[in-house]
Amino acid sequence: MSRILMVASEATPFATTGGLADVVGSLPAEISTNGHQVAVLIPRYGRAREAAARPVWTNLYIRVGSRVFNTSIYRAEDTPVPYYFLDYPPLYDRPGLYGDENGDFPDNPIRFGLLSRAALEVARYLFRADIFHCHDWQAGLVPAYLHNALNTDPTFTGCKTLTTIHNLGYRGLYHPGVLAELGLPAHLFRPDLLEFWGNVSFLKSGLVYADAINTVSPTYAREIQTAEFGEGLDGLLRARGAVLSGILNGADYSRWDPATDPFIAANYSADNPVPKRECKLALIREFGLPEAAMDRPLLGIVSRFTGQKGFDLIAGLANDLFNQDVYLVALGSGEPQYEGLFRWLAGQYPERVGLVIGYNEALSHRVEAGADIFLMPSRYEPCGLNQIYSLRYGTPPVVRATGGLEDTVDEETGFKFRDFSSWALMNAIREACAAWEDRKAWAKRMQIGMKRDFSWHRSAQSYSELYQRLLG
C-alpha cells in the first residue's frame, strides 16, 4: 500500500475557484478505496478557517530562504481522508485565494513557495508520503525542494513526485529574485531548469523535476506537446513525453445528479425525464425571460469568463444566433472584458438573454437542469466538468473539439465543432437547434448522455496504476 500526499491550492468544499478544487475534493476518497492512503494539504484561507478548526500541529517552524515561518497545521473533521490546512494567517487569512480587487497578491510566490516547502514538513511529522502528488503551479516547487534543498535528507529517500497539470495557461511566473527569497539556489535560473523567458516558472519546476507528469485528459496530453497549445512549454513536454500521460477527470455524481439534486425545481432521471420541464420553467422565470422560451431551445452557459473559454466567438454571431428564435441564460464571472460582452448581449437582446454575473453554485445546478443545450466553445479545455455535468442533466452540449471536450462528448450525446471561428460555432448551434425540434430523437439523445458514466471511479483506478508504476 502506498502513501500519497496531495498538495494543492484548492479543494471543494473548503476553497473553490474552478475545476481543480473539484478534483482535489473528490479524487482522494476514491483513490483511498483502491488501497492507497491519501492525505491532502491546502492553505488555511480565510474562508476555510471555520471548517478546518482543529489544530493538529502547532509551532511548526519552516525556514524558507532567510525567513522562518511559525506555522500550524489544522485538520477538517469528518472528511473521508485527512485534509490538512497550512495555517499562517499573515499569508493565507484573506478573503481571496489568489488576489483581490487590485489583482494578484504580490506575495503569491512566497505564499505558494511556503505551501510547497510545508508539504515536506507535513510528510516528515504528520503523514509519511511515498509520493507527493502536486497539482498545478501552486505546488510546483515541491519537486524542486526535494531535488535541491532536501536531496540528502534520508526522510525523503525513495520518495517520488507526480505533477498534475490542470491548466497549462497558468505557469506561476515571477521575477528571478524570488529564487533567493524561496531558498532555492541561483543556478536553477537556467532555460533547462526553472527559467522561462526571463522569469522563474513554478509550473516548470514541477515539469522538470517530477518523476511523472499527467494532465486531465488524453487529448490535452497530446495537445500540450504542440506549439498551438503548449504555452511555450511544448518543447519541454515533448522531451518528457515518455512520462507524460492523460487521465480524464471524473464527476462527483453525489453532488451532480438530477435525481437527487437539492438545488433544482424538480428531480428527474434518464428513466423519468419529464420533470426537467419544470426546471426549465423555473429557470426562465428566475432569469426573467418570457414564457415563450418554453417552446424554443434554451441555451445555457456556466463558466469563468476568461479568454480560454472562447466567448469571443459569441460576439461575432449574436445577430445570427437570436434570429434563430432561441434563448440564452448565462452565469459567470471573471475578466471585465467578458463580463462586458455578456452585459452587452443582455442589454442588446433583453427578451432573449438572461444574465447573472457572479459565482453561485446553486444557480449553476439550476442552469444545468433547466437549459436544453449547454455551450462550451473553449479555445482550449484541459478536461472541463460542465459538459460532463450537462450530459448527466440531459442538456446535450455544443463543444469545441479540444482537450477533454473531445474525449467526453460524441455525436450521439452532443455537438462538436473544430475551427475556432464564430462560423463553426454557429453551425454547431444550428445543428443542435434543428436536432432539438425532433422531440423523439432529442429525448433519445438526452437519455444516452444521461447514462454515460464519467464517475471518479475510473480516474482513480488510472491514478492508482500510475502510482504503482512510479513506485516500481
User: Where do contacts with ligand ADP occur on this chain (CB under 6 A)?
Assistant: 18-19, 22, 302-304, 331-333, 359-361, 364, 383-386
Query: Which residue, 126 or 385, has its beta carbon nearer to ligand ADP?
Result: 385
Residue the block writes with cell 492508482: 464
- The grid coordinates listed for 259 are 435525481
Instruction: Name the percent of the chain in helix, strand, coil, to the closest 5.
Output: 40, 20, 35
Least CB distance from residue 37 to ligand ADP, whole Å? 27
Query: Which residue, 324 or 462, has its beta carbon nearer to ligand ADP?
Result: 462
Query: Which residue, 94 or 304, has its beta carbon nearer to ligand ADP?
Result: 304
Least CB distance from residue 385 to ligand ADP, whole Å? 4
Contact in structure between 403 and 217 (CB atoms under 8 Å):
yes
Contact in structure between 396 and 414 (CB atoms under 8 Å):
yes
Residue showing the smallest CB distance to ligand ADP in the complex: 19
Long-range contacts, stretch 102-110, CB < 8 angstroms, 24+ apart = 108/172, 108/174, 109/172, 109/174, 109/178, 109/181, 109/182, 109/200, 109/202, 110/64, 110/178, 110/181, 110/182
Hey, how many other C-beta atoms are within 10 angstroms of the C-beta on 176? 14
Contact in structure between 250 and 256 (CB atoms under 8 Å):
no
**Cα distance between residue 134 and residue 320, in whole Å:** 45
Query: Which residue, 18 or 273, has its beta carbon nearer to ligand ADP?
Result: 18
Least CB distance from residue 16 to ligand ADP, whole Å? 7
Least CB distance from residue 306 to ligand ADP, whole Å? 8
Least CB distance from residue 64 to ligand ADP, whole Å? 29
Query: Which residue, 389 or 417, has its beta carbon nearer to ligand ADP?
Result: 389
Least CB distance from residue 8 to ligand ADP, whole Å? 13
Query: Which residue, 352 or 366, has its beta carbon nearer to ligand ADP?
Result: 366
Least CB distance from residue 165 to ligand ADP, whole Å? 12
Query: Which residue, 200 or 373, has its beta carbon nearer to ligand ADP?
Result: 373
- The grid coordinates listed for 319 are 445577430
**Cα distance between residue 297 and residue 325, in whole Å:** 8
Least CB distance from residue 192 to ligand ADP, whole Å? 30
Q: Are strands 244-246 and 212-215 parallel, antiparallel or unpaired?
A: parallel
Hey, how many other C-beta atoms are within 10 angstroms of the C-beta on 153? 12
Query: Which residue, 148 or 408, has its beta carbon nearer to ligand ADP?
Result: 408
CA-based torsion, 192, 195, 201, 205: positive or negative: positive
Collapsing DSSP to helix, strand or coil, 37 comes out as: strand
Query: Which residue, 128 or 304, has its beta carbon nearer to ligand ADP?
Result: 304
DSSP letter string over 248-288?
Answer: ---B-TTTS-TTT-TTSSS--BTTB-TTHHHHHHHHHHHTT
Distances (CA, A) of 409 to 167, 211, 404: 20, 31, 8
Query: Which residue, 120 or 216, has its beta carbon nearer to ligand ADP?
Result: 216
Query: Which residue, 289 or 301, has its beta carbon nearer to ligand ADP?
Result: 301
**Cα distance between residue 70 and residue 374, in whole Å:** 48
Least CB distance from residue 359 to ligand ADP, whole Å? 4
* DSSP code of residue 308: G
Hey, how many other C-beta atoms are within 10 angstroms of the C-beta on 169? 15
Least CB distance from residue 77 to ligand ADP, whole Å? 24
Query: Which residue, 160 or 379, has its beta carbon nearer to ligand ADP?
Result: 379
Helices 439-451 + 422-437 axis angle, to 10: 110
Least CB distance from residue 285 to ligand ADP, whole Å? 19
Q: Are strands 160-165 and 54-64 parallel, antiparallel or unpaired?
A: unpaired
Across 178-195, b (16+ Cβ under 10 Å) vs e yields bbebbbbeeebbeeebbb
Least CB distance from residue 386 to ligand ADP, whole Å? 4
**Cα distance between residue 215 and residue 384, in whole Å:** 12
